Amino acid sequence: MVVRGTRSDDGDDLGTPLLDDHPEIFEAPVIGPAEAPTYSISELVDEINDTLESSFDEGIWVWGEISGLSVKNRHTYFTLVELEEGSTTKRAQLNVNLWAGDMMKIRPIIAKVGLELTNGIKVRIYGNLNFYGPFGKLSLIMRGIDPRFTLGEIALQRDELIRRLKASGDYDRNRELELSPVPLRLGVVTSGSSAAWADFRNQIESSGLGFRLELADVVVQGDLAVNAVARAIGRFSHRADLDAIVVIRGGGSKTDLSTFDSELIARTIADSSLPVLTGIGHEIDLSVADEVAFAQHKTPTACAVALIDRVNSFVTDTENLWLGISQIASQRVDSSLSEVQRLTREIGIHTRSAVDRAAERLDTRLSRLLTWVPKIFADRLMEITNIETSIRLLDPKNVLARGWSITRDSRGNIVRSVESVAPGEELRTSLADGIVVSAVSAVQALGDDGILHDGK
């Protein structure tokens, strides 16, 4: 079909030239089959939608991963993405519109099983295809959802991650650490504005124990949560002034809590040099972070209670040990006192016996001594008398009195040999009653034959 140009009644050109003015148009070749139908864009949009409606009159189910979710005027928009296997490269994508009325019907269904529509989760959704002319965009108008598909995908991903963690040895690594019996210095990873932090802190402070808490204030859900939580755990892990790391958050939907099913967080916990304790969600929730942690608790409050109980248990054990030591010490003191008293009695008895025996021996020896004294005295007196007699006999005076004399030369030396004197020398001879001074006129020596011979 060819659209002809027109002229106004007064002959003015209205924009498209008349064929009569341009005969060369009939000579231009047509590229493409001339018999194919020609549509206006709106006609084509209607034709596409008629075809989509007739081809998919009962609607279709489509599965993929939610991306770019946004809410405008209560309507929800997102892209359903199919990724290349093991890659972040998009293989295909489809725009999805969820009108507010349909959302009101779907929200109670997914909330009942703990799900929310959020980026990154895989969903199987039902709807009708529509090609929107003003944007030239094909979209799926979402009417329903299969929550079992999403739950199954979450479970499969979780189970696969657990398998990999066990295979690498990371599953049990944090539990192999040793937790202080008094874990008072804690690094806490959570949102500082959350009820989880308030409940945990209030429980700790009400214990009256000397806990010291240091908060790493992070987002715990959404696109930024995984990296934020992992970084905070990693920073605390290198602190020598902490006893343990605590990771907590309050309850929420399964998609909210899916942050803690992250492989990055799980491996960061495994790499931690400090024990990691968790209190995530409600009692029915169990995340991968819980499974690899040193200890997991059902709620933030339960985590605080467990820490308080551990410290109180240590205090109680210490007091009981001290009481036991005190009792044992008292028993041993009493036993030792009894033993000392027994030994004192025995020593007293033995001492008295020893003193009595010593007294008896002393009496015996005294009697012997009294018997021996006169004899000893007489013997000693006889010895003294004999000594006195010997001394008297050896007294020079007594010797001289018997006719002996002592001769000295002029120098006072005793003359013991004729060799020591010479004629003319003066000698002094001591007698019993005086001294005789004389001069040597001659010296005669006694020969070997006993006969005196003239000497000098």
Q: What is the DSSP string of 64-85?
A: EEEEEEEEETTEEEEEEEEEPT
- pLDDT at residue 7 in the model: 43
What is the distance between the alpha carbons of residues 142 and 106, in angstroms, rounded to a whole number? 10
Q: Exposed (0-12), middle (13-18) or buried (19+): which is 328, by Cβ within 10 Å?
A: exposed
Read off the pLDDT of residues 403-435 as tens digits, 9 standing for 90 and up: 778 888 888 888 888 888 888 888 888 887 888
What is the distance between the alpha carbons of residues 278 and 81, in angstroms, rounded to a whole number? 33
What is the distance between the alpha carbons of residues 390 and 115, in angstroms, rounded to a whole number? 138
Decide if pLDDT at 324 tops 80.
Answer: yes
**Other CB atoms closer than 10 Å to residue 184's CB: what's the count?**
17
Calculate what percentage of the chain has a pLDDT beyond 90. 42
Single out the residue of 110, 123, 13 nearest to residue 64, CA to CA. Answer: 123
Calculate what percentage of the chain has a pLDDT beyond 70. 90
Decide if pLDDT at 316 tops 60.
Answer: yes
What is the distance between the alpha carbons of residues 147 and 110, in angstroms, rounded to a whole number? 6
Task: Name the pLDDT band for 24 (thresholds 50, 70, 90).
Answer: low
What is the distance between the alpha carbons of residues 82 and 92, in angstroms, rounded to a whole number? 5
Backbone dihedral region of 414: left (phi > 0), alpha (psi from -120 to 50 degrees) or beta? beta
Task: Name the pLDDT band for 213 (thresholds 50, 70, 90).
Answer: very high
Q: What is the dihedral of CA 142, 148, 150, 155, to 10 degrees?
A: 180
Among 84-88, 345-349, 371-375, top mean pLDDT goes to 345-349
Dihedral of alpha carbons 368, 369, 371, 375, sign: positive
DSSP single-letter state for residue 251: -
- pLDDT at residue 25 in the model: 63
Q: What share of the chain is helix, strand, coil (3-state, %, to 5)?
A: 45, 20, 30
Tokens of 96: 């999805």
- pLDDT at residue 28 in the model: 67
Quote the strand ranges of 133-192, DSSP E.
137-145, 185-190
Tokens of 156: 């499969």
Quote the strand ranges of 181-220, DSSP E.
185-190, 212-217
What is the distance between the alpha carbons of residues 366 and 359, in angstroms, rounded to a whole number? 10
Cβ–Cβ < 8 Å for 207, 301: no
Question: What mean pLDDT, rounded, does the chain reach?
Answer: 86
**Claim: this prediction has a pTM higher than 0.75:** no
The single-letter code of the amino acid at 261 is D
The single-letter code of the amino acid at 354 is A
Backbone dihedral region of 401: left (phi > 0), alpha (psi from -120 to 50 degrees) or beta? alpha
